[in-house]
Amino acid sequence: MFGGFCYVDRFAGDLAGLRERLPYLRELGLTYLHLMPPFLAPAGNNDGGYAVSSYREVDPRLGTMADLAALAGELRVSGISLVLDFVFNHTSDEHAWARGARAGDPAYADYYLTFPDRTIPDAYERTLREIFPDQRPGSFTYRADMGRWVWTTFDSFQWDLNYANPDVFRSMAGEMLFLANRGVEVLRLDAVVFIWKRLGTACENLPESHLIVRAFNALARIAAPALLFKSEAIVHPDDVREFISPGECQTSYNPRLMALLWDALATRETRLLTASLRDRVRLDPRCAWVNYIRSHDDIGWTFDDGDATRLGADPFAHRRFLNAFYTGRFPGSFARGLPFQENPRTGDARVAGTTASLAGLEAALLTGDAEEIDLAIGRILLIYGVALLFGGIPLLSLGDDLGQRNDYGYHLEPALADDSRWFGRPRMDWDAAARHDDPATIEGRLHAGIRHLAAIRRAHPAFNGTATEIIEVGNDHVFGYTRQGDGGRALILANVTEHPQILDGNLLRLHGLAYHLVDLLTSGPMVATEPRTLAPYQLLCLVAT
Ligand code: OTU
């Protein structure tokens, strides 16, 4: 599979507009399309649709549930699976269940976690992490209409559901099956780490969360067996893995590959990337990583502190460096991102921006320096190349294939202004897309590059399955891994710097490749035992001839 994601309105206006854009998605070779939550949501700020007022209704600005179901069918005819969010940790405060709770309807009193005063919220907050400290400090919101404090991990209008109440599970299971029956093939389990709370803990990744997901999964296996789950747990690398198994989430974002590819581009070193992936990439063969370069959210620096310490880095200082680098504050940085949820108290921050802007294309275009532009394109194709050839499901942020830059207008829209993630969520530029077939343009170079990588992945047997092994290549500026599929083996080498890098040829034979090799990207031949120079940001994809 090869995935892509977009906002319906930002990509194509509405669902009818999206149907007209199917040829574009087919041309890219996509087989998986994740639409950001298209459900009914409060007017104004609704966290990009992540405050759902009804799982059974589509936002009328986008179309109807019947349109969505028709789209799912049409996508399937094109070999594309529809992926939607299962926003099951919270609903909006306008959902019928929340309206019931607000009106004092006893049937809904226990659907959410509400408290008469600050006693219990204060007790919980002693060990909770703040998720949106900028615009929404704390994890509870006072509702004057109820005279109660409501648990709101995210924004004040996103009310956490109370899974200790069996009615909540039963109701959400009904919504899940409703969506499966509309033709949704993968549900992305949004904010899965937060669904269970226990006093004295961070209320993240608790064992009960896993039990609940397994229960949803068991129901899916019985009643809607084609439905798969994708875990959205952007937390410590070891906790991410806990959610992945055939009986829980069959796929998961791979936040470590994402964050550490960016780390490698900033530091020009691959040691942290290699060390942290080496022993942790293998999954049950019935499961798969979703390898993305960025999601619609911010980039957080999810690596294990121990891995960083062992390599001689101070994890806190290193995260600070990465934030400074990707917000362009670090001298010489090519990146142009914005901080997201900068927390002055803890020194924490995450980064928002598009791939192209973070990879240097925005800065390079400002100077017009052709060499800098080439380097930026090289970075984008390098990291997407690694993701596409990695094993699992690569995921394209639609618009990255055209090198779309940050949206500097987001703060003029009142509903978006407080949330810098919108910086990295520009509307699809169809004028730029019209140039995607012109090799003389930036759009054409990126688009062709991504399509070429996708075609290689489809065509060569080494890329069947998910068997990936990270290897030591004897050069700290090059990332390497092997892929083993039925009937083929490939070695991928990625130079993460703007300088040529030399590799020892014998290494290739050590990794089980033949004497005579070919690079699938350039069709260039190569003899194993000879030293090999990688050009700046070159990606090599070697197989036996
Ligand atoms: C998710 O992200 C969504 O991806 C966001 O777009 C939503 O705003 C949010 O849930 C609420 O629905 O904190 O900054 O793994 O990284 O769940 C993004 C934990 C988030 C979090 C994740 C959350």
Per-residue pLDDT band for 188 (boundaries 50, 70, 90) equals very high
Measure the CA–CA gap between 316 and 264, rounded to whole angstroms: 17
Average pLDDT over residues 89-97: 98
Rounded-to-integer distance, Cα 285 and Cα 288, Å: 7
User: What pLDDT is stored for residue 161 in this prediction?
Assistant: 98
CB 155 less than 6 A from any atom of ligand 1: no
pLDDT tens across 221-264, in order? Answer: 999 999 999 999 999 888 999 999 999 999 999 999 999 999 99
Residue among 46, 50, 84 whose CB has most ligand 1 atoms within 8 A, to mutate: 50
Query: Within 10 Å of residue 520's Cβ, how many Cβ atoms?
Result: 23
What pLDDT does 513 receive? Answer: 80
Output DSSP code: residue 132.
S
- Closest among 323, 296, 322, 328 to 400, alpha carbons compared: 296
CA 233-235-237 angle, 5° bins: 100
What is the per-residue pLDDT for 307?
95
> What is the number of the ligand 1 atom nearest to the C-alpha of 350?
14
Residue 471 confidence (pLDDT): 94
pLDDT of residue 509: 77
For residue 153, give the ligand 1 atom closest to its CA: 11
Q: How far is CA 463 from CA 103, 288, 372, 490, 541, in A?
A: 55, 13, 32, 8, 11
* Alpha carbon distance 231, 214 (integer Å): 12
Q: pTM of the entire structure? A: 0.97
297 lines ligand 1 (CB under 6 A): yes
What is the residue with the minimal CA distance to atom 23 of ligand 1?
Answer: 191
The residue nearest atom 22 of ligand 1, judged by CA position, is: 191
More confident residue, 275 or 506: 275
The closest-lying atom of ligand 1 relative to the alpha carbon of residue 295 is: 4
Mean pLDDT of 190-203: 98
Confidence check: pLDDT of 97 > 90: yes
Which part of the chain is CATH 2.60.40.1180?
Answer: 464-544
User: From the CB of 239, is ligand 1 less than 6 Å away?
Assistant: no
- Reading phi first (left if > 0) and then psi (alpha if -120 to 50, else beta), residue 537 is in left
Spatial contact of 351 and 503, defined as CB atoms under 8 Å apart: no
- Beta carbons within 8 Å of 352's beta carbon, 6+ residues apart: 298, 299, 337, 338, 339, 340, 420, 421, 422, 423, 424
DSSP string over 186-236: EEEETTGGGS---TTS-SSS-HHHHHHHHHHHHHHHHH-TT-EEEE---S-
Q: Which residues contact 542 (CB under 8 A, 6 or more apart)?
A: 490, 491, 492, 493, 508, 513, 517, 518, 519, 520, 526
Ligand 1 touching residue 62 (CB < 6 A): no
CB-based contact 275:267 (threshold 8 Å)? no
Q: Tell me which CATH code domain 464-544 carries.
A: 2.60.40.1180
| Ligand 1 neighbourhood includes 514 CB (under 6 angstroms) | no
Which CATH number is 96-160 given? 3.90.400.10
Q: Is 233 in the pocket of ligand 1 (CB under 6 A)?
A: yes
Q: Are 445 and 470 in contact (CB under 8 A)?
A: no
State the pLDDT confidence band at 160, using cuts at 50, 70 and 90. very high
Q: Which two tokens stand for residue 339?
A: 């901080």
Confidence of residue 204 (pLDDT cuts 50, 70, 90): very high
**Average pLDDT rounded to a whole number, residues 310-323:** 96
Handedness of CA 266, 290, 81, 212 (dihedral sign): negative
pLDDT of residue 343: 84
Q: What tokens were used for 214?
A: 């397994």
Tens-place pLDDT, residues 385-407:
999 999 999 999 999 999 999 99
Average pLDDT of span 451-470: 94
419 close to ligand 1 (CB < 6 Angstrom): no
Helices (H) and strands (E) in the chain, counts: 19, 25
Q: Do 224 and 245 contact (CB within 8 A), yes or no?
A: no
- Give per-residue pLDDT as tens, 361-394: 999 999 999 999 999 999 999 999 999 999 999 9
Distance 195 CA to ligand 1 centre (A): 12
For residue 300, the ligand 1 atom closest to its alpha carbon is 16
DSSP string, 459-517: H-GGGSS--EEEE--S-TTEEEEEEEETTEEEEEEEE-SSS-EEE-THHHHHTT--SEE
Q: Is the distance from the beta carbon of residue 18 to the nearest atom of ligand 1 less than 6 Å?
A: no
Segment 517-532 mean pLDDT: 88
Higher pLDDT, 517 or 34: 34
Query: Distance, CA 535 to ligand 1 centroid (Å)?
Result: 38
Query: Could you tell me which of 216, 210, 212 has the C-alpha nearest to residue 175?
Result: 216
Ligand 1 site, residue 85, Cβ cutoff 6 A: no
The pLDDT value recorded for residue 512 is 75
Residues labelled catalytic = 190, 232
CA of 213 to the centre of ligand 1 (A): 17
pLDDT in tens, 399-440: 999 999 999 999 999 999 999 999 999 999 999 999 999 999
Q: Is the CB of 287 under 6 A from ligand 1?
A: no
CA 298 to ligand 1 centroid distance, Å: 9
Residue 134: pLDDT over 80: no
Is the CB–ligand 1 distance for residue 191 below 6 Å?
yes
334 Cβ inside 6 Å of ligand 1: no
Atom of ligand 1 nearest to the CA of 50: 12
SS3 sequence of 143-172: ECCCCEEEECCCCCCEEEECCCCHHHHHHH
CA-based torsion, 149, 153, 157, 159: positive or negative: negative
Burial class (CB in 10 A: 0-12, 13-18, 19+), 43: exposed
Q: How confident is the model at residue 345 (pLDDT cuts 50, 70, 90)?
A: confident
Distance 74 CA to ligand 1 centre (A): 29
Percentage of the chain lying above the pLDDT 70 cut: 100
The pLDDT value given to residue 276: 92
Residue ranges matching CATH 3.90.400.10 in the chain: 96-160
| Index of the ligand 1 atom closest to the CA of residue 341 | 14
Give the position, in ligand 1's atom list, of the atom nearest the Cα of 193.
15
Which whole-number Å values give the CA distances from 539 to 17, 243, 476, in the listed order? 36, 32, 15
For atom 7 of ligand 1, which residue has the closest CA?
50
Write out the DSSP string of 231-244: E---S-HHHHHHTB
pLDDT on residue 346: 80
> Best substitution site from 193, 232, 294 to test ligand 1's pocket, by max atoms within 8 Å of Cβ?
232
Query: How far is ligand 1, taken at its centre, from the CA of residue 350, in Å?
Result: 12
Does the structure show a pLDDT above 90 at 466? no
> Looking at residue 137, what is its pLDDT?
82
Starting from the edge strand earliest in sequence, which strands make up the sheet with 140-143, in order? 114-115, 148-151, 140-143
Q: 401-438 in b/e burial notation, b at 16+ Cβ within 10 A?
A: bbbbbbbeebeeeeebeebbbbbbbbebeeebbebbee
Q: In 3D, which of 520, 340, 382, 428 has the Cα closest to residue 4? A: 428
**What share of the chain in percent tops pLDDT 90?**
90
What pLDDT was estimated at residue 252? 98
